[in-house]
Amino acid sequence: MKRTFLSVLAILLTLAVSSSAFGQELLAKNTTQTTKDTKKGALAGDKLMYTTYFYTAGEAIVHGYEKDTNVRIISLEQNKTVWTGTVTRGETKNVSTGKGVFGFLSDKKASILVGTPSSCTAVGYWLRDENGNHRADHFYTELPSSISNQDARVLVWAWEDTKVRITNITADKTIHEKTIKAGSYFEMTSAELGQMNSNVLEFKAPKESIAVQVYYDQGFFVPSRDGRVAGKIFYSYVGKITEGSNDLNLFAYGRATKAKVTDMKTNEVIWNGVVPSGGVHSMRLSGKYVKVESQDEISVSVAPFNFQGYAEHHFAAGIEGTGIETDFLNTTSEELWLFSYFDATEVTVTNIDSGKQVWKGTLGAGNVQGVFPGAGTYRVKSSNGVSLMGGSATCGAEYSPAGGMFAIDEELLKVAKVILQEREKAAAAEGRALTDDERAAPLSKSEKKKVQRYIRDNLGKSMNESEVQQRMDSMVTY
């Protein structure tokens, strides 16, 4: 039985590892192909090494999207490499990391499924591609190692009319070729999935039009039309595992907003009302395929609501829906885990019902903080980007939002080249060449503003000046 009332995952560690220490550790230990004359900082090199942090309760399944992707995973707590190897396109590697925070370095992009996807299979999540997107034309996933309930299923949702090909990579055969109408889905049920435990599946569409839901239990946020986990239109299956029903939760960050939940099978309106400002509206459903619409941007989760001790983990969406944010609303069945990507990050955790502040502190890059406030809904605010996970015990799985840093780093490298060209042009106007010190100089205030605009315009992501400078300084290039 998945339900538990005593958590066995007591995260009491706070790791004091800085961004610069992380980069130095990766460079010092990385002796594979990825040591290609590596340099520190976005302004130092022409090409990018992909680096990030991730937190997991026990495992990390690395999914390769390109040929010969060289990967190294480093325990920040133990300051040592826990795995190094190569994955190719469509290949996965399940690394038994143990719980903690880990550094990830690769020469090509990959996605990371974290939690307990093979050791405890009552899990639920939406796929992310190698760019951290929930909406794409191409996904890989390794299925859980067993079926925990006959309501388990995998659903391919279409945001546009599209064709989809599903290939079992493990068996080397195409298992489905379907045409799906916009706003509809194709599903694989437990009868079929039970024959493919731990198999790797590929989902391929002609354009970025699909999202894929792996439902073996509740415990996930739902992506919207554009692939973020915030927006105005959502589709999801709300199932029956573990208690015969699941909770559908709607969160409003700004003003109170009108929203509607529709049963996609019957076209019946299940609920039509207002989500309170800075609050949540929750409803318990069983075996429903739903469409959620809202007047303003909201986030939507399928996760236990006020259910003490329900064993699951889910990453929160955040106000912009990227999972690396400065403002979160999230439910938990017992615990919250806070993970910082930046130094000197001030964080507060507040119970939205009582208004009581349950934790306040400062985290460095790579720090994780466990908070044990009990079942409820909480608002987390921070000065720099963090990730937030809610839940209880050691049963759950989800694709880490940390992979979203890969897309950010690619854009940072592009804008860094523009800044270098501008610096070279300014030096040439003075009749001289740009010096090495000028090339490596910290960003000026106007340059930081340029980077902020560039990231916002190209990714829809806000970054403050501290985040911009820290991330550009810690990037590994060659």
Q: Are 346 and 382 in contact (CB under 8 A)?
A: yes
Six token digits for residue 63: 């999914």
DSSP label of 3: B
Pairing of strands 69-75, 257-263: unpaired
**Spatial distance between the Cα atoms of 55 and 104, rounded to a whole number of angstroms:** 11
Q: What's the whole-number mean pLDDT along residues 2-13?
A: 28
Residue 17's pLDDT band (boundaries 50, 70, 90)?
very low
CA-nearest of 107, 99, 97, 102 to 30 is 107
What span, in angstroms and rounded, lies between the C-alpha atoms of 227 and 80? 35
- Alpha-carbon distance of 120 to 111, in angstroms, equals 20
For residue 33 the two structure tokens come to 């192909």
Instruction: Please give the Cα distance from 154 to 142 (Å, whole number).
Output: 12
For the chain, give the percent of residues with pLDDT over 70.
92
Q: Which residues pair with 443 in a beta bridge?
A: none
- Give mean pLDDT, residues 179-198: 97
Distance, in Å, from the CA atom of 129 to the CA atom of 89, rounded to the nearest integer, reads 12
pLDDT band, residue 19 (cuts 50/70/90): very low
DSSP for 76-136, written as a single string: TTTTEEEEEEEE-TT-EEEE---SEEEEEEESS-EEEEEESTTT----EEE---TTS-SSB
Over residues 335-372, the pLDDT tens digits come to 999 999 999 999 999 999 999 999 999 999 989 899 99
Residue 10, amino acid: A
Residue 36's pLDDT is 58
Query: Taking the CB of residue 394, how many other CB atoms lie within 10 A of it?
Result: 18
- For 234, list phi and psi in degrees, rounded to 5: -140, 150
Report the share of the chain in percent with pLDDT over 90: 78
Contact 27, 38 (CB under 8 A): yes
Residue 332: name the closest of 277, 394, 298, 374 by CA. 374
Q: Are 312 and 218 in contact (CB under 8 A)?
A: yes
Q: What is the per-residue pLDDT across 404-437, written as a single tens digit (0 to 9) for each?
A: 889 899 999 999 999 999 999 999 999 999 999 9
CA distance 354 to 377: 10
Coil, strand or helix at 248: strand
